[in-house]
């Protein structure tokens, strides 16, 4: 998993193909079967309707639209430096293991 929270990504496949959004949450643990999860929740991507029962007074209930996790393989990072769709490579910069854009060879993360 080379994506992080707050990265801007574009969806490459499925109903949301071509749509861009910000990563809200990353799941990179293992599931019950021991496989990598490798999914993210992306802002306003993969919206599903959830039927939420009122559990506490004053809490939102009814048919709520909620983001569902999408596989990270289907996402490409939009490089904050060059604005192109890109993949990320890891590179040693001093003591840090930095994320580097494959298009412009700039570091993706701010110091």
CB 14 to Zn ion: min, Å:
25
Residue numbers at the binding site for Zn ion (CB under 5 A):
79, 81-82, 101, 103-104
CB 66 to Zn ion: min, Å:
32
Spatial distance between the Cα atoms of 63 and 52, rounded to a whole number of angstroms = 6
Q: Which is nearer to Zn ion, 98 or 104 (CB)?
A: 104
Q: Which is nearer to Zn ion, 3 or 79 (CB)?
A: 79
**Phi first, then psi: what are they for 43, rounded to 5°?**
-55, 125
CB 45 to Zn ion: min, Å:
22
The separation between the first and the last C-alpha atoms of the chain, rounded to the nearest angstrom, is: 20
Q: Which is nearer to Zn ion, 17 or 89 (CB)?
A: 89
Kindly write down the DSSP assignment for every residue of 46-65, as one continuous string.
SEEEEEEPP-STTS--EEEE
């Amino acid at each position: 998993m080379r994506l992080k929270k707050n990265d801007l990504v574009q969806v490459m496949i499925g109903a949301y193909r071509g749509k861009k959004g910000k990563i809200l949450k990353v799941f990179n643990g293992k599931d019950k079967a021991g496989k990598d999860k490798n999914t993210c929740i992306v802002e306003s991507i993969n919206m599903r309707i959830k039927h939420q029962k009122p559990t506490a007074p004053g809490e939102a209930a009814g048919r709520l639209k909620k983001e569902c996790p999408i596989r990270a393989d289907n996402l490409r990072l939009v490089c904050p430096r060059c604005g192109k769709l890109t993949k990320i490579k890891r590179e040693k910069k001093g003591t840090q293991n930095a994320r580097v854009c494959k298009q412009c060879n700039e570091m993706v993360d701010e110091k």
